[in-house]
Chains A and B, each alone.
Chain A
């Protein structure tokens, strides 16, 4: 099924799939992303400080890496983190705008503002996994596997990079659309086809 990809995770509004296995997520009163966090048995209190985009990317990365067996405590210079999406940080931009929209209730929130930079999600993933390779965030209208693949191939043009944690990381206005992949250098050839197949 996932020939040519070490590991992947797909998260949509109602499904979580990790390496072709659907994960059972018991629903509660909390948000879908919080429910996934609990179902995956993750312990990382900082998760609850993240905006939705960072949460979605964090979960995508976390579930993708679950069985890859990388040491989260050891700094790694040979892994890159590349994310792309459609809406940039628009979900959190909208939340931040709320804190400044009304002059009578004008309290700009630093904790909300910081996530109005889309690449913060790559930072959160790098911090969690101690990944010191390059991190980059690209924006495009729709998930274009050819472009996505070009960015990942670009990351491997840095010859110190052996693997890339990459993801279509879209979250806006309650809609979650995530595909995360862990790709090694020799899996690049099939990447475009695999993204197409897994994203569908």
Chain B
């Protein structure tokens, strides 16, 4: 098991985890119709990080003469703010950076805008992020579609438990671009209005920008009593289709089974699921959760607050859910009016109180990938 030492979220809802959590708890979202962004022929519904606000905060912390992209700035600022709450020396050899992203600086393919062509490589961004903090270990980059943020935390857990490092700084980030939005549009996967996870009338997902960081350590030393631990995590593949969710939920069920080995469904306060609000994903999840006897436990999706934040999603949603369980709260699924998945689920439409100490985070994505993470409160 590994311990959350600190965390941060940079999103359209705020630049700290706490601001983001408060916004979500009060039912706020900045998902909106974007009809000017990226000169797309078709508008899309999504949330963007305000670049002026980001620049204003970034310019205060920036000590380098290097020009950074929005993606790099958001990731660096997120790590910086997470580190600020700790006494960890990020430049120490026992600290490992792990970057979770699907597309990094892919927008530079359209126009390099004065940047070196090398900047489209994900490892290059990761190096720049680690170097900003003086860290000399080769950073790890995981690019595992929608489950990237969960894969990165599982990788952190393994490296910490194998004594390959003492601290792991997991940062998940993805920005939107013409590239990313047009691709999802070509997949006819986007909703033209606020997405409706698990709703009978759900028609697709929203996209959102975010950078989110969790710093993990090996011991509970000097941590508050209600620290969150990552107790278990596992991945599994559907072996079914490269983009379509499994029709049975077999892969997600397998990942959950592996993660829930030492815990009973009743001990789970809630499952923070993927809940993208596409017809097939949400149905698939309902089947997998039913197979795992979790269909009666409260289930929520955060997608109608942030949109799908891609490589950041697994990290961001783990943080929000961690703050929720510390707050003994089950967050409602925003914009859910009428539950309508192929197998019925328990999806609260109002925030609720909870007493249990554990929650499950699940994600599924392109490539048939599925992941489950089990988090527990130490007190």
User: Does B55 sit within 8 A of A, measured CB to CB?
Assistant: no
Which residues of B from 174 to 198 have beta carbons under 8 Å from A?
A: 178-179, 182-183, 185-187
Q: In chain B, what residue has the closest Cβ to A140?
A: B123
Determine the chain A residues whose CB is within 8 A of the CB of B145 once the complex forms: 117, 119-120
Instruction: Tell me the bound Cα distance from A103 to B104 in angstroms.
Output: 23
User: Does B115 sit within 8 A of A, measured CB to CB?
Assistant: no
Give chain B nearest CB distance to A124 CB in angstroms. Answer: 6
Interface centre among A108, A127, A129, A150 (most CB of B within 10 A): A108
User: Does B254 sit within 8 A of A, measured CB to CB?
Assistant: yes
Q: Given A119-B367, A120-B367, A123-B237, are A139 and B187 neighbors across the interface (CB < 8 Å)? A: no
Determine the chain B residues whose CB is within 8 A of the CB of A64 once the complex forms: none
User: Does B319 sit within 8 A of A, measured CB to CB?
Assistant: no
User: Does A2 sit within 8 A of B, measured CB to CB?
Assistant: no
Looking at A3-11, A32-40, A94-102, the stretch in contact with chain B turns out to be A94-102
Contact, CB under 8 Å: B236 / A86: no
User: Does B320 sit within 8 A of A, measured CB to CB?
Assistant: no
Contact, CB under 8 Å: A126 / B121: no
Looking at A21-29, A152-160, A177-185, the stretch in contact with chain B turns out to be A152-160
Among candidates B182, B187, B254, B258, residue contacting A100 with C-beta atoms closer than 8 Å: B182
Determine the chain B residues whose CB is within 8 A of the CB of A118 once the complex forms: 143
User: Does A93 sit within 8 A of B, measured CB to CB?
Assistant: yes
Contact, CB under 8 Å: B179 / A140: no
Q: In chain B, what residue has the closest Cβ to A151?
A: B155
Contact, CB under 8 Å: B239 / A157: no
Which residues of A from 73 to 123 have beta carbons under 8 Å from B?
A: 75, 77, 81, 86-90, 93-94, 96-97, 100-101, 103, 106, 108-110, 113-114, 116-120, 122-123
Chain A contact residues: helix, strand, loop or mixed: mixed
User: Does A138 sit within 8 A of B, measured CB to CB?
Assistant: yes
User: Does B114 sit within 8 A of A, measured CB to CB?
Assistant: no
User: Does B329 sit within 8 A of A, measured CB to CB?
Assistant: no
Determine the chain B residues whose CB is within 8 A of the CB of A134 once the complex forms: 234-237, 255
Give chain A nearest CB distance to B375 CB in angstroms. Answer: 18
User: Does A141 sit within 8 A of B, measured CB to CB?
Assistant: yes
User: Does A15 sit within 8 A of B, measured CB to CB?
Assistant: no
Give chain B nearest CB distance to A115 CB in angstroms. Answer: 8
User: Does A137 sit within 8 A of B, measured CB to CB?
Assistant: yes
Q: How large is the interface on B (under 10, 10 to 19, 20 to 34, 35 or more residues)?
A: 35 or more
Give chain B nearest CB distance to A102 CB in angstroms. Answer: 11
User: Does B243 sit within 8 A of A, measured CB to CB?
Assistant: yes
Q: In chain A, what residue has the closest Cβ to B251?
A: A132
Contact, CB under 8 Å: A127 / B140: no
Q: Given A153-B162, A154-B155, are A127 and B186 neighbors across the interface (CB < 8 Å)? A: no
Q: In chain B, what residue has the closest Cβ to A94?
A: B109
Q: In chain A, what residue has the closest Cβ to B164?
A: A150
Determine the chain A residues whose CB is within 8 A of the CB of B104 once the complex forms: 88
Determine the chain B residues whose CB is within 8 A of the CB of A138 once the complex forms: 140-143
Q: In chain A, what residue has the closest Cβ to B41?
A: A106
Determine the chain B residues whose CB is within 8 A of the CB of A77 once the complex forms: 236, 254
Q: In chain A, what residue has the closest Cβ to B104?
A: A88
Give chain B nearest CB distance to A152 CB in angstroms. Answer: 11
Contact, CB under 8 Å: A158 / B186: no
Instruction: Tell me the bound Cα distance from A98 to B352 in angstroms.
Output: 48
User: Does B240 sit within 8 A of A, measured CB to CB?
Assistant: yes
Instruction: Tell me the bound Cα distance from A114 to B123 in angstroms.
Output: 21
Q: In chain A, what residue has the closest Cβ to B120?
A: A90
Q: Residues of B at under 8 Å CB distance from A?
A: 41, 102-104, 106, 109-110, 120-124, 126-127, 138, 140-145, 151, 154-155, 158-159, 161-162, 164, 178-179, 182-183, 185-187, 234-243, 250-251, 254-255, 258, 365-369
Pairs A–B under 8 Å by Cβ, sample size 6: A93-B106, A101-B110, A116-B103, A136-B144, A154-B154, A154-B158
Top 8 nearest A-B pairs (CB, nearest first) are: A123-B367, A134-B235, A113-B183, A108-B186, A154-B158, A139-B141, A108-B182, A126-B237
New contact pairs (16) apart from A94-B109, A113-B186, A122-B237, CB-CB < 8 Å: A81-B237, A90-B121, A97-B109, A101-B110, A103-B41, A106-B41, A108-B185, A116-B106, A117-B366, A118-B143, A124-B242, A131-B239, A136-B155, A139-B142, A147-B138, A158-B258
